[in-house]
C-alpha cells in the first residue's frame, strides 16, 4: 500500500547514487500516493515577494563574495553560503526565514535560467508553496523548501545535487515523452 508523502518514514526510502556530469550524487527515493495538485501563475504580490527575496539574496551574496552578485553567482556559491549559515549565522544580519526565502529564491531563479523552468504557485492538501516547474513534462521543484531542508538538516552540497538530479530528470522525462 502506497503512503501519503507526509506518512513516509526513513525506512520507506531507498538510498541511490548516480554519476551526473562527472559528479557523484547521493539521494534517496520513495513512492508516495499521487496527490492532486493545482498550479497557478504568481500574482503581483507573489512576484514582488520573489523580487524582494532576490534583492536580499544579492546583499547576502555580495557580503559573502565581493566578486559576485545576484547577476553573477553559481550553485556552489549558494551551497557555500548555506554552509556558512549553518556554521555561524550570527553575522548575516537576517532572520532564518529571510535567509531561507532569499537563498531559495536565488536557487529557484538559477534553475529557471538553467532549465527553462517557470515560477508558479502549487496548492495541494499540504498547503500552497512557491515552486518552479516545466509543465509539459510535469517536473516541479520547491526551491525555498529545498533551502529550508538544507538548513534544518545541515545538508552539504544540497543545491548542486538537486540541480544535477533535476537535469537528469528532465532528460529522462523528455526521452519518455518522445
| Number of neighbours of residue 98 by Cβ within 10 angstroms | 16
User: 100: buried, middle or exposed (CB in 10 Å: 19+, 13-18, 0-12)?
Assistant: buried
| Measured torsion, CA atoms of residues 73, 76, 79, 85, in degrees rounded to the nearest 10 | -70
pLDDT at residue 173 greater than cutoff 70: yes
pLDDT per residue as tens digits for the range 20-73: 888 888 887 777 778 888 999 999 999 999 999 999 999 999 999 999 999 999
Spans of all domains in the chain: 37-176
What is the spatial distance between Cα 69 and Cα 142, in angstroms, rounded to a whole number? 22
What is the spatial distance between Cα 120 and Cα 142, in angstroms, rounded to a whole number? 10
Cβ-contact 106, 70 below 8 angstroms? yes
**Sheet order of strands, 38-40 included:** 38-40, 118-124, 127-134, 139-141
pLDDT at residue 13 greater than cutoff 70: yes
pLDDT per residue as tens digits for the range 77-129: 999 999 999 999 998 999 999 999 999 999 999 999 999 999 999 999 889 99
163 half-sphere exposure, CB direction, 13 A CA radius: 24
37-176 in CATH: which number? 1.20.120.1090
Amino acid at each position: 500500500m502506497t503512503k501519503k508523502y507526509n506518512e513516509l518514514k526513513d525506512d520507506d526510502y531507498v538510498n541511490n547514487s548516480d554519476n551526473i556530469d562527472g559528479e557523484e550524487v547521493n539521494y534517496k527515493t520513495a513512492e508516495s500516493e499521487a496527490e492532486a495538485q493545482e498550479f497557478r501563475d504568481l500574482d503581483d504580490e507573489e512576484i514582488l515577494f520573489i523580487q524582494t527575496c532576490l534583492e536580499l539574496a544579492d546583499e547576502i551574496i555580495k557580503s559573502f563574495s565581493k566578486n559576485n552578485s545576484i547577476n553573477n553567482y553559481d550553485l556552489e556559491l549558494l551551497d557555500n553560503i548555506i554552509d556558512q549559515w549553518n556554521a555561524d549565522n550570527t553575522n548575516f544580519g537576517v532572520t532564518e526565514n529571510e535567509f531561507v526565502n532569499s537563498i531559495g529564491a536565488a536557487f529557484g531563479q538559477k534553475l529557471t535560467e538553467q532549465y527553462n523552468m517557470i515560477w508558479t504557485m502549487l496548492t495541494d492538501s499540504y498547503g500552497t508553496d512557491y515552486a518552479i516547474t516545466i509543465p509539459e513534462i510535469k517536473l516541479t521543484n520547491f526551491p525555498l523548501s529545498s533551502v529550508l531542508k538544507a538548513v534544518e538538516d545541515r545538508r552539504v552540497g544540497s543545491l548542486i545535487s538537486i540541480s544535477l538530479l533535476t537535469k537528469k530528470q528532465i532528460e529522462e522525462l523528455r526521452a519518455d515523452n518522445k
